[in-house]
């Protein structure tokens, strides 16, 4: 139970993180956070949350002297910010950024018909980066080969850049709790996530 997930809100009640129940209880005990009752939005400190277990009959962690319900949502008492998250550089995100489309000829293809091409070939100092990697269909990739765009007589449809979309929270949908839906919009849940 201690490794289950708890949603963390900042002081403005914006979802900023997901942590373990173990960490959430530690924050609660240290008086750095309060638990939000998912049904009533009532806020509890450590003592009132432990007392809440007796009335509620929820899933609890048992100690020698206490029964403590598992907190599903906590609010940090002293943090207003929103952590800056950038989309990670990965094969999956390159496919998403380029919309499964060859960046040379513009044809949309299945993933197995595409490869990642280095605009400046690695053998010529090209790096693995958002600004040097693009999707290319197999035909265009073979045509370009180990040459620069000028040498191959090819042009990019769109200049490769770091995507401006970024995951708000990186989280697999398997960890989603029903009580979290009140704090995170449907648009969030419909977004493809980074693994």
Handedness of CA 161, 166, 170, 176 (dihedral sign): negative
Q: What is the pLDDT of residues 43-90, one digit of tens each?
A: 999 988 888 766 665 677 888 887 888 898 999 998 777 666 677 888
Give the span between the Cα atoms of 96 and 81, in whole angstroms.
28
**27 phi-psi bin (left φ>0, alpha ψ -120 to 50, beta other):** alpha
Domain residue spans of the chain: 5-83+167-189, 91-152
Q: What is the pLDDT of residues 103-123, one digit of tens each?
A: 999 999 999 999 999 999 999
Answer yes or no: is pLDDT of 188 > 60. no
Maximal CA-CA distance, the chain: 76
**pLDDT for res 85:** 66
Residue in 178, 134, 11, 26 with CA at minimum distance from that of residue 78: 11
Span 165-177, average pLDDT: 56
Q: What is the pLDDT of residues 65-78, one digit of tens each?
A: 878 888 989 999 98
Residue in 163, 146, 49 with CA at minimum distance from that of residue 99: 163
The DSSP line for 12-46 is: TS-EEEEEEHHHHHHHHHTTSEEEEPTTT--EE-H
Give the span between the Cα atoms of 139 and 118, in whole angstroms.
15
> Is the CATH code 1.10.10.60 the one for domain 91-152?
no
């Amino acid at each position: 139970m201690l490794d289950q997930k708890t949603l963390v809100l900042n002081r403005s009640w914006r979802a900023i993180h997901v942590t373990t129940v173990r960490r959430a209880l530690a924050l609660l005990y240290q008086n750095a956070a309060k638990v939000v009752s998912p049904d009533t939005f009532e806020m509890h400190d450590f003592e009132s949350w432990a007392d809440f277990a007796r009335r509620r009959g929820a899933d609890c962690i048992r100690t020698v002297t206490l029964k403590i319900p598992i907190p599903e949502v906590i609010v940090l008492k002293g943090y207003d910010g929103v952590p800056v998250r950038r989309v990670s550089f990965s094969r999956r995100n390159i496919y998403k950024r380029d919309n499964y489309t060859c960046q040379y000829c513009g044809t949309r293809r299945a993933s197995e018909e595409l490869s990642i091409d280095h605009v400046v070939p690695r053998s010529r100092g090209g790096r693995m980066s958002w600004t040097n990697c693009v999707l290319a269909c197999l035909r265009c990739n073979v045509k370009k080969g180990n040459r620069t765009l000028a040498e191959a007589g090819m042009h990019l449809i769109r200049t490769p850049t770091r995507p401006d979309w970024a995951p708000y929270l990186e989280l697999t949908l398997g960890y989603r709790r029903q009580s979290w839906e009140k704090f995170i919009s449907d648009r969030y849940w419909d977004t493809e996530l980074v693994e």
